Amino acid sequence: MKRLPAIVLTVAALALPASVSGGTPITVFAAASLTEVLPRIDKAPRYSFAGSDQLAIQIQQGAPADVFAAASPKQPELLFRNGLVRRPAVFATNKLIVLVPRSNPAHIQSAYDLRREGVKIVIGALTVPIGAYTRQILDALGITAEVTKNVVSEETDVKGIVTKVALGEADAGFVYLTDAKPVSSRTRSIALPAWAQPAIRYEVAVVKASSRPQAAAAFVKKLRSKRARLLLRQAGFGLPKLP
């Protein structure tokens, strides 16, 4: 009878997912804009942060991912249609802002100032969510042509944009609201009109080829828990209604 507690503990540990039991961690492929918040929600998984399109391509090519968290529904939904992930679920939303260096050398006060000659702008590449969202808002504001002529670099993920602006290598860049917080001491945020904002939704899905499907599903569930939603809100993300 004295050995019973040890046996019970052993069985219980075997029943827990990796992120709880301390076993081999799952691998989470996630959008670069989630770099700060996901480890706060669950520090156990191995994270690979990059542009959502790059990560989707890696999953298509058989990269050993267990979970895919993207900054747009486009990539998870495409992988779902191709039978590579389980049905995606929305877990967060976001907004776009214009990020400028703290000194604001180009004196940017609104998105319309980005039309001025000589302003150096950094945006995301067309294939990544931040790039696609940026082009949507430029079209909505009717300033695509004028702003595009001032683009000096197109980055493969949002962190590349943030870095160039924070270092003063660009006068402005289009980023997510949540990306401004970690660099607030070196940058300023310029709000964009609410009526022009695209619908930015983050989706997460379990990769079908995962060798740890239960642990992966547990992570997805945790990402939509009350605690995770609180941490997401604290990081500046919006929260969708959950069923």
pLDDT score recorded for residue 202? 98
pLDDT score recorded for residue 241? 86
Alpha helices in the chain (DSSP H): 4-15, 18-21, 38-41, 52-60, 74-81, 129-141, 144-148, 158-166, 177-180, 213-223, 226-234
- What the block records as the tokens of 65 is 């991912």
Q: Which of 206, 240, 213 shows the shortest CA–CA distance to 67?
A: 206
- The tens-digit pLDDT sequence of the chain (243 residues) is 444 443 333 333 334 444 444 578 999 999 999 999 999 999 999 999 999 999 999 999 999 999 999 999 999 999 999 999 999 999 999 999 999 999 999 999 999 999 999 999 999 999 999 999 999 999 999 999 999 999 999 999 999 999 999 999 999 999 999 999 899 999 999 999 999 999 999 999 999 999 999 999 999 999 999 999 999 999 999 999 877
Q: Domain 96-196 classified CATH 3.30.950.10?
A: no
pLDDT digits (tens, 9 = 90+) for 146-174: 999 999 999 999 999 999 999 999 999 99
Chain region(s) in the chain for CATH 3.40.190.10: 4-93+199-234, 96-196
CA–CA separation, 183 and 168 (whole Å): 12
Per-position DSSP letters for 195-209, written without gaps between them:
GG---EEEEEEEBTT
pLDDT digits (tens, 9 = 90+) for 107-123: 999 999 999 999 999 99
Q: Which helix (H) or strand (E) holds 188?
A: strand 187-191
Contact 122, 152 (CB under 8 A): yes
pLDDT score recorded for residue 137? 98
Q: Domain 4-93+199-234 classified CATH 3.40.50.970?
A: no
Whole-prediction pTM: 0.87
